[in-house]
Amino acid sequence: MRTAIFVAKRGIATAVLVPLYSAGPVTPLGIAALLSGAPAAGTCIHLCWRILREDP
């Protein structure tokens, strides 16, 4: 389950970044790249921690 969270994060980031890269707008690509980096990874880590904390 925890690995699936990170796989989903990478899949969503790829689904957003590839079309932006292909289209060529630099500003939205930069914003999407920043948001798919540390903030998204922090969210995934927090979700994994919550899952681990609830396991007996």
Tell me: the pLDDT tens digits for 28-52? 999 999 999 999 999 999 999 999 9
The residues, any chain, with a CB within 8 Å of residue 32's CB and separated by 6 or more, are 13, 16, 17, 20
Task: Output the pTM of the full model.
Answer: 0.79
- Tally of structural domains, the chain: 1
Residue 20 lies in domain = 2-54
Average pLDDT, the chain: 92
6 band by pLDDT with thresholds 50, 70 and 90: very high
